[in-house]
């Protein structure tokens, strides 16, 4: 199928700003789904609130646009009732790790078969550029005009510690890797977390004088390196890209099915 066959064309051009990385994530997501050869009816996309969460409105899958930070809770309900469906949850960094931080760590702990795509643009874009849990120490935001003093989470370490069984990171510059990692995250049976470093030229870029979308993407190209590269040994500041965790562990819905079977067997 062509890319447009996966879109709700009536909502295009989309609302995202010129050069917004969320469009690149949408682009890669559709190509990953196309490669997997999945039917649109097999996919449920559940999102919360924020620029990134608008992604679910643009794809012609089953979609739910829910409340801020709680997308994973809704997604858990969908997955538990229809485990045969593939559930994908696109989230912003604030939606996933601040407002929805608890849902995030507990979905990871349960290892429920959901694919969480954390689109990390380091800012709350939709509401006017407030600093987010991934803005980072020393950055500028509308709510941090004298610089941000909050340290940021490391999404990969957080997801790993919480128990996610697939954890990866890439950027919107590395589109081929992005498509491949989305594909692998969807295929993985268990809770998958993919952090995508993405650009918000309108707020994060402008506030921090990082230039436009092109300059921000060039920065992500330079600031990242494949996991375990020699460049990382020389320069520990570099951010690693790739798959950090990929392991098998009992999946929540299959375990729940076993509970049902046990209860049915003993309850007669």
Partner 1 sequence: MAKPKLKEHRINREWCKGCGICVAFCPKNVLELDEKDKAVAVRPEDCIACRLCELRCPDLAIEIIVEDEHGIENKIRSGQ
Q: How far apart are CA 122 and CA 135, in angstroms?
A: 4
State the minimum distance, in angstroms, from the CB of residue 129 to partner 1. 18
For partner 1, which residue of 3, 80, 187, 231 counts as binding (CB under 8 A)?
3
Q: Is 222 in the site for partner 1 (CB under 8 A)?
A: no
Number of residues that bind partner 1 (CB under 8 A): 34
Using CB under 8 A as the binding rule, the residues of this chain from 119 to 158 that contact partner 1 are: none
For partner 1, which residue of 33, 114, 217, 220 counts as binding (CB under 8 A)?
217
Q: Is 214 in the site for partner 1 (CB under 8 A)?
A: yes
Secondary structure (H, E, C), 118-156 = EEECCEECCCCCEECCCCCCCCCECCECCCCCCCCCCHH
For partner 1, which residue of 5, 11, 35, 231 counts as binding (CB under 8 A)?
35
**Distance of CA 124 to CAs 130, 199, 207, 230, Å?**
5, 12, 12, 34
Q: Is 31 in the site for partner 1 (CB under 8 A)?
A: yes
> Is 101 exposed, middle or buried (CB count within 10 Å of its CB: 0-12, 13-18, 19+)?
middle
* Nearest CB to partner 1, comparing residues 12 and 137: 12
For partner 1, which residue of 8, 34, 106, 206 counts as binding (CB under 8 A)?
34
For partner 1, which residue of 20, 59, 162, 200 counts as binding (CB under 8 A)?
20
**Distance of CA 231 to CAs 136, 222, 235, 257, Å?**
23, 11, 6, 46
State the minimum distance, in angstroms, from the CB of residue 66 to partner 1. 24
* Nearest CB to partner 1, comparing residues 129 and 201: 201
* CB atoms inside a 10 Å sphere around CB 154: 14
**Distance of CA 195 to CAs 41, 96, 158, 192, Å?**
25, 11, 11, 10
Q: Is 2 in the site for partner 1 (CB under 8 A)?
A: yes
Is residue 106 within 8 A of residue 244, CB to CB? The reply is no
**Distance of CA 121 to CAs 141, 187, 239, Å?**
12, 25, 15
For partner 1, which residue of 72, 148, 213, 256 counts as binding (CB under 8 A)?
213
State the minimum distance, in angstroms, from the CB of residue 114 to partner 1. 24
Q: Which residues of the chain form contacts with partner 1 (CB under 8 A)?
A: 2-4, 7, 12-14, 16-24, 26-28, 30-31, 34-35, 172-173, 175-176, 179, 201, 212-214, 217-218
């Amino acid at each position: 199928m062509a890319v447009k066959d996966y879109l709700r064309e009536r909502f295009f051009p989309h609302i995202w700003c010129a050069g917004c990385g969320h469009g690149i994530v949408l682009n890669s997501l559709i190509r990953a789904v196309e490669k997997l050869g999945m039917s649109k009816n097999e996919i449920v996309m559940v999102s919360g609130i924020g620029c990134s969460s608008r992604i679910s409105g643009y794809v012609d899958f089953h979609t739910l646009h829910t409340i801020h930070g709680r997308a994973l809770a809704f997604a858990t309900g969908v997955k538990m009732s229809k485990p045969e469906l593939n559930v994908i949850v696109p989230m912003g960094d604030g939606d996933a790790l601040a407002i929805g931080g608890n849902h995030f760590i507990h979905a990871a702990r349960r290892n429920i078969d959901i694919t969480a795509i954390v689109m990390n643009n380091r800012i709350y874009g939709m509401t006017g550029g407030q600093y987010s849990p991934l803005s980072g120490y020393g950055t500028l935001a509308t709510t941090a005009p004298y610089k941000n003093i909050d340290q940021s989470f490391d999404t990969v370490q957080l997801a790993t510690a919480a128990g996610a069984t697939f954890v990866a990171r890439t950027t919107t510059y590395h589109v081929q890797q992005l498509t491949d990692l989305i594909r692998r995250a969807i295929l993985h049976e268990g809770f998958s977390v993919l952090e995508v470093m993405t650009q918000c030229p309108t707020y994060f870029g402008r506030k921090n004088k990082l230039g436009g979308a092109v300059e921000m993407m060039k920065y992500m190209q330079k600031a990242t390196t494949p996991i375990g590269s020699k460049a990382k040994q020389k320069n520990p500041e570099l951010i690693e890209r790739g798959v950090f965790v990929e392991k098998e562990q009992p999946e929540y819905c299959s375990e729940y099915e076993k509970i049902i079977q046990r209860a049915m067997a003993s309850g007669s």
